Each structure stands twice: as C-alpha cells, then as structure tokens.
C-alpha cells in the first residue's frame, strides 16, 4: 500500500483516479438514503412541482411560493429527473435523481481543484489536495443532499481557478477563459445569489490591496464580461419578478438573506469562531494536514500562488464568521484552497514542522472523527430502533485500521502518505455509516413509512385525498405526493374526513384527542388503518401517526 500511495500522485490518469475515489466515497447511501428533512425535501418537492406543472419560472412548495433562492438548482434537478425518466432508470417520485446535481457539482469541484491547483501548488500537491477535498465529511454529506451547496461549490472552485490563472499568468489568459469566468459567475448567481461573486470580489480586493496593483484584472475583459454574466441571470430574474409581482425579491432579499445576516435564522446561530471549531470535524479526515500547513502558508505568503490561496480564504472566512446564521457547509467554498495549502506543505521536502499544539489538535480531530463515526454507526441502530446491527459494528474495525495506518504514517514523518491514506481509508468508514446504517434505520424515516402504509391500505389514492395533522415535515409531502393536504390540527383532520368519502388522514399523537372529539361531535366513525411510530429528528421528539378513514355508515 505504501508504494501505491507514493505512486498515486504521479499517475498518468489523475482525473480518472480522482473520479474513482469520489465515487467510492460518495455512492454509498446515494440511492438508498430516504429523503431528508428539511432542506432536501423542500428543494426536491419544489423541483418535482416544476416537472409536474411545466412552470420553470416560479418556485413553489405545495400551494406556497418559495421565494428564497434563485432557480438554478431546480432547473438542474428537473433536468436530472427528465433524463432519469427518459432512460427508464428513475422517476420523479424517487429522491436520488434530485441528488445527481449535488454529486456532479462536488465531482466538478474536486476536478477543478486539481486542474487549476496545479499552477498554484504543483501537480503532485494538487492531486493530494483534491483527494483530501473529496474525502472531507462535509462534502461527502452534501453529495447526499438535494440542494444548492455542492453545485455552488463547483462554480466557486471553477471561477476562482480561472481567476487564479489570470492572476498568475495574465499574459496567457485568453478571451475564452475570460468568457468561462463570467459564465460560471452567472451560473453561481442562479444557484445561490451573491455568494459566489462575493468570494471572488473579496479575493480580488484583497489581492489588489496586498499587491498595491490590479492591472492584471484587465485580462478578465470586464467590459463585455459583466454584460455576459447579466445575460445569463437577467432573463429569469425579469421573469420571476413579473410572475410574482416583485414578491420574490422582497422575500428573498428582505426575508431570507437579511435574516441570515442579522439573526440566527431557524435556530442556526453560532458565535465568531464557529467555523474554526467545526472545521476540525467538517474537514475530517483532512483537517490534521491543513492545520499543519497553515503556519508555513503564512510564512510563504509572498509567493504568488500561496498569496492567491490566502486571499481566497481569509476575507470570505471572516465574512462567514461575522454573519449570524451559521452552518458547517456554508464555508465549503473555502475548502479547495485550504486543502491545496495543506497538500503543498506535505509535499514540500523543505517543509518546517508545525507547532506542537497544532499537531496535537490535528491528531485529536483525526481520532475524534474516526472514533465518532464508528461509534455512532454502532450505536444508532440501538438508539433509534432498539436493535443491534452486526453491519453497523463493522465501523469499529474500519476505524481501527484507519487510525493504525494514518497515525503510523504521521509518526514516520510522511504527511503526504498520511493524507492519501486517510482519503482512501475513509471509504469503508463512510460506507458503513451511509449504506450500512442510516438507510436501514426505521425511526427517523416517518414520511416514507406513512406513504408505504397508505399505499398498502389505499393503493392508488390521489394525494389530494390524503391529509396529515401533527407531522408537516417536507419529507411527508415528497413521500405521499404533491397535493397532500397539511391539516392544521386534529379538528381539521376530522373535518377533512367528513367532507368527502374515500379520504384518509394521518393524525399525530398530540392531535389525537382533538380529532376524536371533533369526530364524535360530527357523528363520524373513524376507523384506524394502522400506525407509524418514529422520531421527528428536526424537532427532537418521539411521534406516533395513526392512519384513519371514515367508516361506512
């Protein structure tokens, strides 16, 4: 294995090797994990409604306009669904076609990191950095979630890669590359508004201040480049403004974006320093190498490639730390330069050792990540379903092997080997958790189990004939279909059943008494058809949903 690790950065097919590594890391659980709450199911459901309605301008979730994010990810997800259905390999009712843009975005981001990273840190370090990036826990998770962040990550990696080429070799930066830069920025805006341009603009301003010069910016051809970006984004922005009479901009900017800046939206508040702390786990298993490389990167900041990577990281990191709403994946656009800096230090034969305290923090993060993943995998089946799963226990020897090999390479003073070994040996750790454990749990997947019970008791029932009270998580609507009626409480559930024959209603335990009282008042005989007991992990509470239908008089 050691010889293979030494030869891998010199492979003749680096992109093929990186693609293979990515697929081995990411495919476990990709097809089998049920739709998650809340963001994934919201995004997927809105995209499904686009496919069903043929309206590719407005973004809707159920009967409500979802005026929060631009349309780019919904177009990508809709296209993925159409392709899957045309090939006969998937359908709009399955979650995995909606995840394909996330997987492709992550893959393109890793390849972009290698492709443009070669000019910044060299070929061997770029390969190591891309491999480390592919194995990062936060990116592995994002490939399994049908939302914007992995696709945004790809556009930022590509835009910054092209910007780095313009900065390092302005004399060889072509008009075609400039066009690519502005087109990618347009795609980034369609995915998540100002985030991509913000990262680019902050890096440009930082470089201009540090260098006291910015003549190289001319090679980007902004005179026609900015109009090219506007040509990409304006048609939909004009269309959505007309379709919603301006409500999209009021709600997306005034409601969603400013709420994230000013307050911890949806209880996702975090103090300054949040991303430094979460990086130790979010960047597992690569964090230990990045921490060791940062002091050397700062010492080498006068080198143009290192200077560019630091300008990519520092100002955007400070902005994300200052924003009130914080989630670990928000800092994902800064992971490519961090991985490249860590890999450059590991590949440098003249590297200087990192301070001892940084080395021990890195070792702590490495052990904590491997042990945490394996122990969580072993315990989850018992905690969730009160059962012992032998497959889940495989994470323990996988973690032992991981730590034995990686810590051994670190002890021998071979950090590059340690980084590659960590990326490769993370594969079984993730496979156990994402394929062997999470999809096989029952308690967290309430919505799909309600849909299965409904299909058994009332096959072919139109979604509009089914209502649910006490469990309004987006995975429920995705599982039972567009048109599922979200009932306010148990009283509304009894009224729903009484209004028309053939209807079914799922009623949560907290709404059961009100449902029974209203059914009695109306003279409605509600027959229980079964129940689903589980755990609503978004609210942190046990739940029982009972399925009722109105009995024949």
Q: Does residue 524 have a pLDDT over 60? A: yes
**Half-sphere exposure at residue 434, Cβ-oriented, CA atoms within 13 angstroms:** 22
In a shared domain, residues 311 and 204: yes
Residues belonging to the chain = 553
In a shared domain, residues 475 and 329: no
Please compute the mean of the pLDDT values over residues 421-439 and round it to a whole number: 98
**pLDDT value of residue 270:** 79
In a shared domain, residues 336 and 478: no
| H or E element in which residue 96 lies | helix 96-121
Q: Does residue 262 have a pLDDT over 70? A: no
Last residue of a domain, one of 292, 324, 347: 347
> pLDDT by residue (tens digit) across 464-515?
999 999 999 999 999 999 999 999 999 999 999 999 989 999 999 999 999 9
Q: Does residue 1 have a pLDDT over 70? A: no
From first CA to last CA, the distance across the chain in angstroms is 73
Domain assignment present for 417: no
**pLDDT value of residue 389:** 94
In a shared domain, residues 7 and 148: yes
Please compute the mean of the pLDDT values over residues 298-318 and round it to a whole number: 97
Q: How far is residue 397 from each of residues 26, 370, 378, 392, 417, measured CA to CA in Å?
A: 20, 11, 11, 11, 21
> pLDDT by residue (tens digit) across 12-49?
899 999 999 999 999 999 999 999 999 999 999 999 99
Residues pairing with 269 in the sheet: 325
Domain assignment present for 225: yes
Please compute the mean of the pLDDT values over residues 350-377 and round it to a whole number: 96
Q: By percentage, how much of the chain surpasses pLDDT 70?
A: 96
In a shared domain, residues 317 and 452: no
Q: Does residue 188 have a pLDDT over 60? A: yes
Q: How confident is the model at residue 260 (pLDDT cuts 50, 70, 90)?
A: low
Q: Does residue 550 have a pLDDT over 90? A: no
Q: Does residue 105 have a pLDDT over 70? A: yes
Task: Output the six-digit token pair for 158.
Answer: 């590509």
In a shared domain, residues 181 and 310: yes
Q: Does residue 257 have a pLDDT over 70? A: no
pTM attached to this predicted model: 0.95
Q: Does residue 285 have a pLDDT over 60? A: yes
The phi-psi region of residue 360 (left if phi > 0; otherwise alpha if psi is between -120 and 50; otherwise beta) is alpha
Task: Output the six-digit token pair for 521.
Answer: 């008042």
Count structural domains, the chain: 2
**pLDDT value of residue 324:** 86
Domain assignment present for 360: no
- Taking alpha carbons only, the member of 488, 482, 479 closest to residue 463 is 482
**pLDDT value of residue 4:** 66
Q: How confident is the model at residue 11 (pLDDT cuts 50, 70, 90)?
A: confident
Q: Does residue 255 have a pLDDT over 70? A: no
Q: How confident is the model at residue 124 (pLDDT cuts 50, 70, 90)?
A: very high
In a shared domain, residues 11 and 136: yes
Last residue of a domain, one of 329, 347, 365: 347
Q: How confident is the model at residue 258 (pLDDT cuts 50, 70, 90)?
A: low
Last residue of a domain, one of 317, 347, 377: 347
Domain assignment present for 305: yes
The DSSP 8-state label assigned to residue 250 in this structure reads I
Per the CB < 8 A criterion, the answer to whether 74 and 42 are in contact is no
Please compute the mean of the pLDDT values over residues 536-540 and round it to a whole number: 93
Write down the H helix ranges in 412-489. 415-431, 446-457, 474-480
Please compute the mean of the pLDDT values over residues 102-123 and round it to a whole number: 97
Q: Does residue 3 have a pLDDT over 80? A: no
Which domain, by its residues, includes 525? 446-550
| Residues contacting residue 128 through CB under 8 Å, at least 6 positions apart | 9, 343, 346, 347, 416, 419, 420
In a shared domain, residues 192 and 320: yes
- Taking alpha carbons only, the member of 290, 439, 323 closest to residue 331 is 323
**pLDDT value of residue 56:** 97
Domain assignment present for 38: yes
Task: Output the six-digit token pair for 433.
Answer: 């958790």
Please compute the mean of the pLDDT values over residues 389-400 and round it to a whole number: 97
Residues pairing with 550 in the sheet: 526
Q: Does residue 173 have a pLDDT over 90? A: yes
Domain assignment present for 379: no
Domain assignment present for 114: yes
In a shared domain, residues 332 and 458: no
**pLDDT value of residue 8:** 79
Q: How confident is the model at residue 271 (pLDDT cuts 50, 70, 90)?
A: confident
In a shared domain, residues 339 and 453: no
Domain assignment present for 390: no
């Amino acid at each position: 294995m050691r010889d293979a690790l030494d030869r891998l950065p010199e492979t003749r097919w680096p992109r093929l090797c990186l693609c293979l590594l990515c697929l081995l890391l990411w495919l476990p659980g990709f097809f089998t994990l049920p739709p998650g709450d809340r963001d994934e199911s919201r995004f997927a459901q809105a995209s499904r409604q686009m496919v069903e309605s043929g309206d590719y301008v407005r973004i809707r979730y159920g009967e409500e306009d979802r005026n929060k994010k631009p349309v780019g990810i919904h177009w990508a997800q809709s296209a993925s669904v159409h392709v899957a259905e045309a090939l006969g390999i998937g359908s709009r009712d399955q979650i995995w076609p909606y995840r394909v843009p996330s997987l492709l975005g992550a893959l393109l981001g890793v390849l972009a990191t290698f492709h443009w990273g070669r000019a910044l840190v060299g070929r061997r370090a770029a390969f190591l950095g891309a491999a480390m990036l592919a194995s990062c826990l936060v990116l592995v998770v994002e490939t399994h979630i049908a939302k914007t962040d992995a696709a945004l990550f790809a556009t930022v990696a590509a835009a910054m890669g092209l910007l780095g080429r313009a900065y390092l070799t302005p004399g060889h930066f072509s008009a075609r590359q400039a066009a690519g830069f502005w087109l990618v920025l347009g795609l980034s805006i369609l995915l998540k508004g100002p985030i991509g341009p913000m990262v680019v603009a902050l890096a440009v301003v930082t470089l201009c201040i540090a260098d006291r010069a910015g003549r190289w910016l001319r090679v980007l051809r902004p005179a026609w480049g900015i109009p090219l970006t506007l040509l990409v984004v304006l048609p939909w922005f004009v269309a959505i403004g007309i379709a919603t009479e301006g409500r999209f901009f009021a709600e997306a900017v005034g409601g969603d974006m400013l709420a994230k800046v000013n307050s911890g939206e949806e209880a996702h508040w975090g103090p300054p320093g949040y991303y430094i702390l979460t990086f130790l786990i979010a960047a597992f298993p690569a964090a230990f190498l990045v921490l060791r490389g940062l002091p050397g990167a700062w010492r080498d900041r006068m080198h143009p490639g290192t200077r560019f990577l630091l300008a990519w990281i520092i100002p955007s990191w400070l902005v994300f730390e200052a924003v009130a709403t914080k989630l670990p994946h928000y800092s994902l656009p800064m992971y490519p330069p961090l991985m490249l800096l860590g890999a450059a230090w590991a590949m440098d034969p003249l590297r200087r050792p990192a301070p001892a305290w940084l080395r021990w923090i890195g070792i702590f993060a490495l052990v904590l990540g491997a042990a945490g993943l394996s122990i969580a995998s072993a315990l989850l089946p018992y905690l969730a379903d009160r059962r012992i799963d032998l497959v889940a226990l495989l994470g323990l020897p996988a973690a032992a092997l991981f730590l034995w090999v990686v810590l051994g390479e670190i002890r021998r003073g071979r950090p590059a080997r340690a980084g590659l070994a960590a990326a490769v040996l993370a594969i079984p750790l993730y496979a156990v958790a994402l394929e062997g454990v999470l999809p096989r749990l029952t308690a967290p997947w309430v919505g799909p189990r309600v849909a299965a019970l409904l299909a058994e008791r009332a096959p072919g029932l139109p979604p509009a004939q089914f209502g649910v009270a006490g469990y309004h998580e987006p995975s429920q609507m995705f599982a039972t279909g567009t048109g599922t009626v979200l009932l306010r409480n148990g009283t509304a559930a009894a009224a729903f059943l009484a209004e028309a024959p053939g209807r079914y209603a799922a009623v949560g335990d907290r709404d059961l008494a009100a449902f029974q009282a209203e059914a009695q008042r109306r003279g409605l005989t509600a027959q229980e058809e079964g129940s689903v007991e589980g755990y609503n992990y978004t609210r942190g509470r046990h739940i029982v949903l009972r399925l009722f239908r109105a009995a024949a008089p």
